Amino acid sequence: MSDSANSLQATAAAISRAWHAFFHAPLDARVAAIVRIAFAVVVLADLAVLYPDRQRWFTDQGVLTAETSRLLANPYGWSLLWWLPSTPAVIDGVFAIAFASAVLLLVGLLPRANAACLFVLLYSLVMRNAIIFDSQDTVIRLLAFCLIWIPSAQCWSLEAVLKTRLSPHPDPLPKGEEVNGWGLRLIQIQIAMVFLSTALVKLSGKEWLDGTALYYVSRLDDFFGRFPVPAWLFDTPWTVALMTWAVILVELTVPILIWFRKTRRLCLVMALLFHLANEWTMHLFLFHWIMLVGWLSFVTSDDLALLGLKRQDEA
């Protein structure tokens, strides 16, 4: 074998080892628990908002029959509600199961099974009436899918409590331990790609490049709600331009620099401020909150220690 072939093979092997070390590196179990808890809270809020109008949106007595929803959905879509009777009793049962799964996920009892149940039910609801859902629901489903593969009940969970209490030689509840991190890596990659893709789309828009996009966004009062902001903020050309370009800058840099140790914490702060500022000035229901849940997957043991949450071996 030639020297060039050997060099290429060695390079490929080194890349493979580096990827494996990154993708399968053990991560703090408390981070998995935090993501699980925060995700369950967001899902419960989402279900609570949908619940009062469940019969209007998801039964044949409402605005869309099951047969029509089949025609509107993606050809590759599917929904349990297409095969179940489209009646109020059935949709009540579906919501009851979804609420129960979200609560069990919140307290950490069989979290992977309940994440799988939520993924199936949430996807079924979307396909049953896709016209009332948007990008926030896509992110929720993606995180639900990722949580299926994450052992998130190692600590801060009812499952950990029961395991400790039922053990013949009970030990103190662990304050933290490591778990295989590839499930959390999936969330990290997904959230970073969501952020980066929005920036790339904006770069193809004339209004984003000339700095006027947020002026038009701020005028969509009938579409977006917001808390009070100074009138001059969106009426002064240079402030509008700075904010418009700042949005692109944050969305371009954060998903890249967050992977580096020296800039990761700064990127997390930037992401937090970015989403809270957007939530203040442009209510998008749960989109910014579910994105913040995703960013929590980048939290490390050092961050938790900074907040006073030390691991058992550090206490």
Rg of the chain in Å (alpha carbons): 23
Q: In the structure, what pLDDT confidence band is assigned to residue 314 with cuts at 50, 70 and 90?
A: low
pTM of the model as a whole: 0.92
Is residue 19 left, alpha or beta, with left meaning phi > 0 and alpha meaning psi from -120 to 50? alpha
Q: What is the pLDDT of residues 240-290, one digit of tens each?
A: 999 999 999 999 999 999 999 999 999 999 999 999 999 998 888 999 999
Mean pLDDT of 290-310: 92
User: pLDDT > 70: what percent of the chain?
Assistant: 93
For 160-195, the pLDDT digits (tens) are 999 888 766 555 444 558 888 899 999 999 999 999
Mapping DSSP to helix (H, G, I), strand (E, B) and coil, where does residue 225 land?
A: strand
Place of tokens 């992110």: 139
Query: Among the listed ranges 5-9, 160-164, 165-169, 197-201, which one has the minimum average pLDDT value?
Result: 165-169
pLDDT higher than 80, residue 313: no
CA atoms within 13 A on the CB side of 281: 17
- CA–CA distances in Å: residue 22 to residues 15, 16, 164, 185, 272: 10, 10, 31, 9, 25
Rounded Cα–Cα distance for residues 37 and 196 (Å):
26
Contacts (Cβ under 8 Å, ≥6 apart) of 22 = 185
User: What backbone phi and psi angles, to 5 degrees, belong to 139?
Assistant: -65, -40
Q: For 68-85, how does the pLDDT look when each residue is reduced to its tens digit (9 = 90+)?
A: 999 988 788 899 999 999
Would you report the helix, strand and coil content of the chain in percent, each value rounded to 5?
70, 0, 30
Query: Is pLDDT larger for residue 241 or for residue 220?
Result: 241
Backbone φ and ψ of 121, nearest 5°: -70, -45
How is residue 246 written in tokens?
A: 């700042």
- The pLDDT score that the predictor gives to residue 189 is 97
